[in-house]
Structure 1
């Protein structure tokens, strides 16, 4: 599965349903209609795509949006959420994490207290990392079969962020305002 096919599947699920759980169901069904090798390739592609936004700048964006409390796990789930926005917004975010300020999903959250965000609105999508494994297991009846298939192919299936780029204190309010001016205005942090 190449990256174009990956994005076709991702965006197809987005067009079929807006709710994250419904999108996962649509994606799972699509994957289950494909050969096992393509499910393995989907997972590998998901992590190649995710890796491009595993940066300190993107972690700072997540930190800003999450109100200054973005853990390792939260950043990991945030990365899958960015992938779930679709190719166009994702590519803009790769080039400039501050461009996430253009995402309608975030614009709806700006100015609202975090405690009012529903589960479906939170900018995280942990379950996207599991959908290929679920499809693989359902087809084969083998628990953790995708993990074994990835390993057999010599493919990496990471489970934690390892940000690239210049490391900096993503909780430094002044630096975040300088590097992410739009997100800082939408989701202001205090020092």
Structure 2
């Protein structure tokens, strides 16, 4: 599966479904009708795309949105959530994280505390498991497929680097002058307080 085909699937499920759960069900169903090799390729593409988002600038954007605190897990799920925004919004955010301020999904969060986000929460952990679930359905072994799936992903990925730290320059999102310079719109939408 190419990155083009990967993004076509993401965009199609965005058009045909309304909620994240419906998108997952759609993706699981579509992928489970494909070959195990294609399902593994979907995961490889997902890993490759989310790796592009692993930058200190996007970490800072996520920290700003989350009120100054964003754990490693929160950021991982945030990157998966960004995939769900679609190719165009994802690509813009990788190049300029402040463009997240233009997305309806982020606009809905502004002015609210994270405790009230509910289904709008900017994280999508379950997207990282949809290929595994589809692999189990395709191989008719949903309970015992994990080892085979992850072994196939490692084999297909080969020596390509995974697990390295974020790229770019780390900076302090609590430095309001720096935040206003680097993320002007997100900083205005998500002011930080010492109580965060």
Query: TM-score surpassing 0.5?
Result: yes
Aligned to 1:68: 68
Asked whether the 8 Å contact 1:147–1:157 carries over to 2, the reply is no
Contact 1:54 1:161 in 2 (8 A): no
Q: Normalising to structure 2: TM-score of the pair?
A: 0.90
Instruction: Tell me whether 1:143 sits opposite 2:142 in the alignment.
Output: no
- Stretches of structure 2 lacking an aligned partner (at least 5 in a row): none
- Tell me the residue number matched to 1:51: 51
Q: Is 1:7 equivalent to 2:10 in the alignment?
A: no
Deviates more, 1:69-78 or 1:163-172: 163-172
Contact 2:44-2:157 within 8 A present in 1 as well: no
Count how many residue pairs are aligned between Structure 1 and Structure 2.
Answer: 189
Equivalence for 1:123: 122
Structure 2 CA distance, aligned partners of 1:151 and 1:17? 31
SS in 1 for 2:88: helix
Summarize the Cα distance change of 1:172–1:146 in structure 2 as closer, same or farther, 3 Å threshold: farther
RMSD (CA atoms): 1.7
Name whichever of 134-143 and 77-86 sits farther off. 134-143
Q: For residues 48 and 6 of structure 2, what CA distance do their matches in structure 1 show?
A: 11
Equivalent pair of 1:63/1:69 in contact (CA under 8 Å): yes
Q: Which residue of 1 aligns with 2:132?
A: 133
Decide whether the 8 Å contact of 1:64 with 1:187 is kept in 2.
yes
| Distance in 1 (alpha carbons) for counterparts of 2:193 and 2:84 | 29
8 Å contact from structure 1 (residues 17, 23) kept in 2: yes
User: Alpha-carbon deviations, 1:64-116, whole Å to 9, x = none?
Assistant: 00111200000000000011100110111111000000000111111112221
Partner of 1:36: 36
For 2:127 and 2:161, locate their aligned partners in 1 and report how far apart those are by CA, in whole Å. Answer: 13
